[in-house]
Structure 1
Amino acid sequence: HDIEYNGNKRATWRHLREFYESERRRELKLAVKLTDAHFCPGIAQKMKVSLAAQVFSHSVASGMRVLVDHDRMEKSALQTAEFVEKVNEMFDILNSASLFGKHGKGAVTEESAETVLSQLSAAQEFILTWRFSPVRGGRSKTTMPFKEGWLLSIESAKRIIHFGLREAGVSYLCLRRFSQDHVENFFSMVRGRNGFNEKPELHAFLGALRSISAGKMERKLANGTNCEDDGDAMAVEIRDLREKVTAASTSAAEQPQQHRAVSADGDVATEIAFDNVEATEVVPYIGGWIFRKLQIFACNSCKDELVTDESPARTFTHKNFEDSRYGLT
């Protein structure tokens, strides 16, 4: 759809296409990120916000103005360039991710709040003027789902700024933190732990949640993913749990032949005493195998138990090769 805005101006898809066609085969380009996928997207690519953000960007708007100045595009393309620039500004405000971002991309602070709120209000007024020309005859439309989505996002951002900075006393707000990317990244990790099952059952979901929580929710995003890396860090990391376990293990180190179960919150649970030789031999051996597989090993109490000249569990002695003695089993 072509979009009429501010009463008598028109942004057309044709101008964007002409700009891309004039640039695609050149060695030096005014908008280097544009590809065929931006103008002929596949089924999966149609949902990628990144493609839309790269089309409605400052580089594209300035590039179109350059071509108009050199008479390589018609003068009416300036109206399309103006529309692209305004949409780019809205993307930048709602996608602020850094306290010291430049060119309108910085976090909202007490000092910049009035300016940002004014820009968001102006963006709302700009969006309300949009009218959509019919593709094949018929009447023009005054609304589309993405238009309502823009208005909802901007109004939500304004209320978050009012509440966060003026009521909750937050020092700054990165509006990108309120986007859907973080939720989508999280559920992507859950699906990845279940063989990319789109609809995991409750027990599978809980198992995946425990697994990715223990792994600090770290994931390397593949190229071309729909969502950007959100850059989140765990509020409570697994090493905090290890410190609690280490403290509990240290206090129990003087009680041989008794193995203590440690709960998830680090508290020592019920003591378990083993009466038979098999249990006494097997439990330390299995424990050693598990700790050997750990990539991070920082439990000093466990090292004291497992790295000894002569292990109390004879299984270690008989299973060890000569060159692995006096080391971690």
Structure 2
Amino acid sequence: MAWQDDILGSDYQAATLPLGSDGEGEVVATLVRHRPPLTELVSPAAPAHGTDVLYLHGWSDYFFQTGLAEHWHGLGARFYALDLRKYGRSLREHQTPGFVADLATYDADIEAALAAMGHGENAERPSRRRLVLMGHSTGGLTLSLWVSRHPGRAHALVLNSPWLEFQAGGVGRAFITPLVQLGARVQPLGTLPQVDLGFYSRSVSSEFDGEWSYEPRWRPPRGFPPPRAWLNAVLEGHAAVAAGLGIEVPILTLLSARSTILPRWSEQMRHSDSVLVVNDIARAAVRLGTTVTVARIEGALHDVVLSAEAPREAAYAALTRWLRAYAP
């Protein structure tokens, strides 16, 4: 595995992880690591000293949140992020963006990343460093399911607005699931109607009203068209969460204090989650495991670390307090 300079600058490196092939051809994932000067000069008293962090992005997304990496570094951790197959740095021209028919498919991506980090399941010399997994939105759902299926691998789980429940709630999910299952069987790559009106991108992107710059090919303003089989996989994940995952490691869930989901633009979307129903996510989060902390951040966006400065700093402060309390 060869590390090369990453698009984010001199403090970041990326490595391509071969994953074989699927029905669309060659598949890879991409591991990004944050390596600023004097990386190893960390105080033993730092709350994340001796910790490796692996971050997983959400739907129609990739890793570009450099402030998150820098915050983890300031806490003493080594920070890594994974662009899953068919996303971001890993997306190839012959692929349907983001497509999988089962979220467990990502086990191979995650295992390849962990092996590169020294946390591989079959490592001859297992790492003595702690492993914290962090996921945003669909990445939070994917990692929650992974931790449940792989007990003993991670020491803690941090979730940033995880997509743990369908926007119409459990009743709506039960109604729509048979229809989505049928469509997934008949036309797995067929796409569903585009319901993203671009309001979240308007809140985030510097091309509109936000403050963040990123690659629009990898994070389009209205998201990728969602394939039927992919949504079916997500709904299966939601059902598993609703039944309880039994995760035994400490879990932190960061959420906005409120949602604003409307068919028209509202200024409230600059200060709330315009993607998920956060109250439903908060209720679903407590079904994940035995020790779950839910931190509601006033003024936060769907990705809390892309919020305005005040809620962003409040989220980082909540993360730091939680680390000192639950992941010593």
TM-score range, shorter chain: under 0.3
Identify, as 1 or 2, the structure richer in helix.
Answer: 1
| Higher Rg of the two aligned structures | 1
Higher RCO by CA contacts (8 Å cutoff, separation 6 or greater): 2
TM-score, scaled to structure 1: 0.23
